[in-house]
Amino acid sequence: MSDALILFAITLPGLEKTLAEEARALGFVVTEVEPGGVTMTGDWSEVWRANFELRGATRVLVRVGDFMAFHLAQLDKRARKFPWGKVLNADVPVRVDVATSRKSKIYHAGAATQRIEAALVENAGMTIAADAPVILKVRIDDNRVTISVDTSGEPLHKRGHKPAVGKAPMRETLAAMFLRQCGFDGTQTVYDPMCGSGTFVIEAAEMASGLQPGRSRRFSHELLNTYDANAEALRRTNRLRVPSVRFFGSDRDAGVIDMARANAERAGVDDLVTFCVDNAGEATPPDGPPGIVIVNPPYGARIGDKKALYPVYGRLGQVLKERFVGWRIGIITSEGSLAKATDLPFLPEGPSIAHGGLRIRLHRTAPLTGA
């Protein structure tokens, strides 16, 4: 496949392996897993599909070309000869984002940016704007200038159908990857006893239904010369299947439960989910076979006092051990000591993930056994 594009799906550091698993499961050709994301190959229809279907990606970059440049004059000359019009639309403003490495003779990112912008304006008839809807990512490493285009636009965790959020929202991309790490494949009941605005529950219902995460939004790939609206229309699908289980969330805050219900309705999964007002310390298993309890409790860093949370985690752990035999448990927290306070039999720790200025980690169990 000599004319195959090189795609790079960016994700949060620590989630690369999980994103690669998702990409392979969706039929993408994964060629490398590296810090910060996953490299894949495919044509432009695969680019569109990656934006629509990858739940764990933050954005999708596509390499559109590269060349060697050992000084600014050479960069200027080769940028002016670069076939920008094959991908970029002259009617759509662009922004240039240059990163340089110490291994390159061109080390001043600002000067490199100016040369590339001049080539775009003077030779390709482009307009440069700070708020442009299309962003070119240029990396100069070991004197090789690699040019990529961001095909996503807004970060992919912005699904387009969840405007209502609680105090400390979990990003949908993170929720999807944590569900996958807990073993969720769409056939298990999922319950979140501190559901907030419903991210885990709604994400699980969408995954189980085969709904595309990007079905409700637009992407910057639609502004490129390579875009085929008729072909892409075939990518936007409704539910691919009817789940055999339901998905549940509860929270003691009636206001966020209202948010969760509204979000589920906008996402088109309100018939698959049940939200109710309840205290996590009194949680009981919902109807259906044992599945996965996944919860993102307060950490104490931004919401509440950490010391006061130890009994909360202790009570949650007690309830889960007593009432949720046969269920897998996933607890996300920035404090390992709070997770330990649950006294749950956690499996070996996974990677810590940067989220909202904190480092958080998923703590998982195998199916709980009775005392």
pLDDT value of position 1: 34
Cα 60 to Cα 9, 36, 316, distances in angstroms? 5, 12, 38
Q: Tell me the pLDDT band of 231, cut-offs 50, 70 and 90.
A: confident
Query: Is residue 91 located within the same domain as residue 187?
Result: no
Q: Are residues 125 and 203 in the same domain?
A: no
What share of the chain in percent tops pLDDT 70?
95
Quick check: is 57 in a domain? yes
299 and 357 inside one domain: yes
Q: Is residue 90 part of a domain?
A: yes
Same domain, 138 and 180: no
- How sure is the predictor about 111, in pLDDT bands with cuts at 50, 70 and 90? very high
What is the phi/psi pair of residue 95, to 5°?
-125, 140
Rounded to the nearest 5 degrees, what angle is found at the Cα of 157, between the Cα atoms of 57 and 306?
105
Which band of pLDDT confidence, cut at 50, 70 and 90, is reported for residue 242?
confident
Residue 357: pLDDT over 90: no
Burial readout 319-342 (b: 16 or more C-beta within 10 A, e: otherwise): bbbeebeebbbbbbbbbeebbbbb
In the predicted model, is pLDDT for residue 163 greater than 90? no
Between 102 and 326, where is the model more confident? Answer: 326
CATH of the domain at 244: 3.40.50.150
In the chain, the number of structural domains is 2
CA distance 151 to 179: 26
Which of 150, 183, 202 is the C-terminal boundary of a domain?
150
Tell me the C-alpha distance between 68 and 101, whole Å.
14
Residues 111 and 70 in one domain: yes
Give the range among 120-129, 234-243, 290-299, 311-320 with minimum mean pLDDT.
Answer: 234-243
What tens digit of pLDDT does each residue of 286-342 get? Answer: 988 999 999 999 876 544 567 788 999 999 999 999 999 999 999 999 989 999 999
The answer on 306 and 185 residing in a single domain is yes
Work out the average pLDDT over 113-118: 96
Residues 114-141 have a mean pLDDT of 96
The per-residue pLDDT for 55 is 97
The range of the structural domain enclosing residue 60 comes to 5-150
The stretch 34-63 carries a mean pLDDT of: 96
pLDDT of 2-22, one tens digit each? 478 999 999 999 999 999 999
Considering the domain architecture, whether residues 80 and 10 belong to the same structural domain is answered as yes
Say which range, 53-62, 164-173, 354-363, has the weakest mean pLDDT. 164-173
When pLDDT is averaged across residues 167-174 and rounded to a whole number, the result is 81
Same domain? For 124 and 181 the reply is no
Residue 181 lies in a domain: yes
In a domain, 30, yes or no: yes
181 and 52 belong to one structural domain: no
Mean pLDDT across the stretch 140-169?
A: 85
Q: What is the mean pLDDT of the chain?
A: 92
List the single range of 47-56, 155-164, 317-326 with lowest mean pLDDT: 155-164
43 and 120 assigned to the same domain: yes
Contact 220, 153 (CB under 8 A): yes
In this structure, the answer to whether residues 117 and 187 fall within a common structural domain is no
The pLDDT value given to residue 165: 62
90: CATH: 3.30.2130.30
Q: What is the pLDDT of residue 233?
A: 74
Tell me if 229 is assigned to some domain: no
Task: Specify the pLDDT at position 240.
Answer: 80
- Shared-domain flag, residues 184 and 86: no
Mean of pLDDT values over 332-355: 92
On the question of pLDDT at 105 being above 50, the answer is yes
- The answer as to whether 233 is a domain residue is no
Does 209 have pLDDT greater than 70?
yes
By CB neighbour count within 10 A (0-12 exposed, 13-18 middle, 19+ buried), where does 276 fall?
middle
Tell me what the mean pLDDT of segment 134-156 comes to. 96
| Domain final residue, candidates 150, 183, 200 | 150
Mean pLDDT of 168-192: 93
pLDDT tens for 247-286 read: 999 999 999 999 999 999 999 999 999 999 999 999 999 9
Q: How far apart are CA 355 and CA 12, in angstroms?
A: 9
Q: Is residue 196 part of a domain?
A: yes
The sign one gets for the Cα dihedral 301, 304, 308, 311 is negative
pTM, two decimals, is 0.92
